Structure formats: C-alpha cells, structure tokens
Amino acid sequence: MAATTDAAPALGPGIYRRKTKTQRVLNALNGMVAVPMRDPFALVGLAIYVVFVLVAIFAPQIAPYDPLEILFADGKLASNIPPLTDDHVLGTTNLGRDIYSQLVFGTRSALIIGLSAAFIVAALGTLVGLLAGYFGGLIDTIMMRIADVALGIPFLPFVIVLAAFLDPSVWNIVLAMALLLWPNTARVVRSQVLTVRERAFIDAARVTGSSTSRIIFQHVAPNILPLSFLYGSIAIGWAILTEASISFLGFGDSNVVSWGVMLQDSFLSQALSRGSYHWFLPPGICIILVVVAGFFISRGYEEILFPKLRD
C-alpha cells in the first residue's frame, strides 16, 4: 500500500513490448516474486507461506511423534494430557495423540490441498480464458455458457453432495474446486486476453507466421500469468477453508491428518466442555494464518493489476 506507482511493475498494463521468448518467461516469473516484494502486506503473506512450507517439508523432523499414533504411558492411554507436559507441547487428544505433531503434519495437508486446488483452478481458468478470449466466436460462447452454469452451482452444497457419492477424501474438495471455481479466473483472463490480442506485438507475431498455439502460449499467456496467480492465491484459502468445513460436517477423511479433521476431532471429543482450548484453538489459528497470507499476497497483485483502486 505504501508502495508508489512510479515503481511500475514489469507487468502492469500498457507495458507489453516485444521481447525474446526467454526474456518474457523470465520476466513473468520474476514478476510473480517481485510484485509481493513491493507491498508490505504481501511480504508478510509470503513470509507466512515460507514458514509453513518449511514446516511442511521438515514435518517429520519437527514433530516429536507420529500424528496418528495412539500413545501410551505406563501401559495406560496417554489421553488428554495438558499442554507443556513432558514433550507434549500442546498436550494430547482424547485418544492419546500428540496435538502438536498433528498440527505440524496438518501443514502438509493444508498445503497439498491448497496448492493443488489453486493450481488446477488457475490452470484451468487460464486455459479456458485464453482459448475463449483468443478465438472468440463459438468457442467463446460455449465456454462462457459453461462458466455460467458452473457459477450457478452453490459451492459448499456441491461438495457435500459429492461426498454422498465418493469416498471421504480431500481430493473431493480439489475436484469440486476444479469443477466450479475456474470460471472466475477464466472470465477475467478472457477479458484481459481480449485487450492483449489486439496489441501490436501479437499482430507482428501473426504476420511473421507464428503458429496459433505459439502465439497463445508464448506471446499472450505470459502477459496474463499474474492474473492467474492472483486467482490461484485466493483459491488456496478457499480450499483449506472448505476442507475444514467438510471435515466438520463429517464428510472428511479421518485417516488424513488435517487441521479440519483436528477441529472436528476436538469438537466431537468435547474439547470446549473440557476447556481444552490448546486443542481447539491452534488449528483454527493456523487456518486463519495461511488463508490470510493468501489474501495478503493476492492484494499485492491486485493493487498492481488494478491500479485504479489506488491513488
């Protein structure tokens, strides 16, 4: 927010120049990292991500226990141990599982669900938007009608209905997101493509005989990648929140360690009546942190992509 417009990002509108292929791709990728660097919020978001990613990678080293192992002490179930007892930083669950270890391993599920959903939503949305925007005509009409239908399907109810037919699995959520949430991205990408394709360097490419796919993927696509990124970063949060809700409603996969399943477990084990806030609060806080991080980063992009919202 404190950043000023004069540090014009390489990707802001109106800066489409003809460059070599490598340059363009490098520039695009560079922009993705460079953009957040200009916005303090985005920087914070990025920092949160980095921490969680590190935790996810080194989860086995960080977590003192197997998150699903039922622990015993002196032949008795080690259940409901209060926090900061021995090496149970956050105590244990009603079934004698180490809460801290679950929290640490939950990072993996969160990132896997979040990133795969974000990737699919962004990739699918971008692809559809590219094709619809570039070719226009019938392809455009058909794809945009499909997008309308997808937007007419209520999201959470759809995931619940899917749960009626499919086995409990986090991939249901990714599937539902892939099916329903791409149109937002596609629509915005499409309108961006509509402006880009009229630009001179595209005409030049066309005149010099570049193939259509070459034009789309090498000339047009790099210019809309930040947009895809924006929508992807919001999708991460959506996926994680949806997983939590679905687990809470009892359609989750209890064999996976996730923050949503942890919340569900604590809720069903009456953590609130027991006063076990050390069980009930941390997964919720982690969810907030990751989702907010996504919002922060997406704001960073938005401020630059839609500078009219700035002064």
Partner 1 sequence: MIRKKALLTALALSGSAFAFAALPAATPALAAGDAIRDLTLIARDQGANPQAFQAAQLIAQAWGKLGLNVSVRGLPRLQQSELVWYNRDKWDMTMWQMVGRPERSDPDELVYNLFHSSTAESGYNFIGYKSEEFNKLAEAQRVETDKEKRRELLRQAQAVLDRDQPNMFLVYPKRSFAFDNAVFAEDSVVEQPGLGIKNIWSYLGAQPLGDQKDMILNSTDPLNAINPLYISGATDSWVTELIWDRLLRISPEGLAEPWAAESFEWIDQTTIDVVLREGMMWHDGNPVTVEDVVFSFEVPNVGDEVPMYQPFVKNIESVEATGDRTVRFKLKGPSASFLTSSLAKVNLTPKHVWEAVIDDLANRPENAESHQEDLPIGSGPFKFVRWKQQEEVVLEKNADHFSPPNIDRWIIRIVSNTEATVSMLRSGEINFLSDYNGDPEVLADVADKDGDIAIVSSTDIGFQYATVNHRRPPFDDVAMRRALSLAIDRNLMVAAAWNGSAEIANSPVSTALSYWHSDDTDAISGSLEEAQQILKDAGYEVIDGRLHYPDGIKETLEGP
Partner 2 sequence: MVRVVNRLLHMLFVLWAVATIMFFMFRLMTGNPLAAYIDTNFTLEQQEALLVQFGLDKPLWQQYFIYIGNLLQGELGQSFFYRKPVGEVLMNAFPNTIVLTMGALVVAYLFGIPVGAYLAWKRGTWIEGVGIPTVLATRAAPEFWLGMILLAVFAFNLGWFPSGGANTAGAEFNSEFARFTSVDFLWHLVLPALSLALYLQGLPLLLMRSNMLEVMQEEFVTMARMKGLSEWAIIMRHAARNALLPVVTTFALSIGLSVGGNVVVETVFSWPGLGRLLVGAVASSDFPLAQGAFLLITLVLVSMNFIADLLYHVLDPRVSHGSNN
CA 231-236-238 angle, to 5 degrees, is: 90
Contacts of residue 29, Cβ cutoff 8 Å, sequence gap at least 6:
225
**Kind and range of the H or E run holding 77:** strand 76-77
DSSP 8-state symbol, 7: S
Q: Which of 3, 160, 175, 194 binds partner 2 (CB under 8 A)?
A: 160
Task: Report how far residue 242's alpha carbon sits from residue 258's, in angstroms, rounded to the nearest whole number.
Answer: 12
DSSP 8-state symbol, 74: T
Give the footprint of partner 2 on residues 140-159 (CB under 8 A). 145, 148-149, 151-158
Task: Report how far residue 11's alpha carbon sits from residue 20's, in angstroms, rounded to the nearest whole number.
Answer: 15
Give the footprint of partner 2 on residues 170-199 (CB under 8 A). 181, 184
Task: Report how far residue 273's alpha carbon sits from residue 292's, in angstroms, rounded to the nearest whole number.
Answer: 29
From the list partner 1, partner 2, none, which binds 29 (C-beta under 5 to 8 Å, kind-based)?
Answer: partner 1
Q: Which is nearer to partner 1, 143 or 246 (CB)?
A: 246
Measured CA to CA in angstroms, residue 272 lies from 95, 98, 106, 278 at distances of 16, 18, 21, 10
Quick check: 3 binds partner 2 (CB under 8 A)? no
Q: Which is nearer to partner 1, 25 or 139 (CB)?
A: 25
Q: Do you know the residue count of the chain?
A: 311
Quick check: 104 binds partner 2 (CB under 8 A)? no
From the list partner 2, partner 1, none, which binds 168 (C-beta under 5 to 8 Å, kind-based)?
Answer: partner 1
DSSP 8-state symbol, 61: H
Is residue 170 a contact partner of residue 109, using CB atoms and an 8 Å limit? yes
Window 25-64: contact mask with partner 2 (x via CB under 8 A): ----------------x-----------------------
Q: Which is nearer to partner 2, 62 or 249 (CB)?
A: 249
Q: Which stretch binds partner 2 (CB under 8 A): 19-27, 134-142, 221-229, 294-302?
A: 294-302
Quick check: 4 binds partner 2 (CB under 8 A)? no
Is residue 233 a contact partner of residue 301, using CB atoms and an 8 Å limit? yes
User: Which residue reads 């050390």 in tokens?
Assistant: 278
Q: Closest approach of Cβ 113 to partner 2, in Å?
A: 14
Quick check: 86 binds partner 2 (CB under 8 A)? no
Q: Closest approach of Cβ 70 to partner 1, in Å?
A: 6
Q: Which is nearer to partner 2, 25 or 123 (CB)?
A: 123
Task: Report how far residue 146's alpha carbon sits from residue 143's, in angstroms, rounded to the nearest whole number.
Answer: 5
Q: Closest approach of Cβ 311 to partner 2, in Å?
A: 6
Contacts of residue 30, Cβ cutoff 8 Å, sequence gap at least 6:
10
Residues of this chain that bind partner 2 (CB under 8 A)? 1-2, 41, 145, 148-149, 151-158, 160-161, 163-166, 181, 184, 231, 234, 237-238, 241, 244-245, 248-251, 260, 263, 267, 272-273, 280, 284, 287-288, 291-292, 295-296, 298-299, 302, 306, 308-311
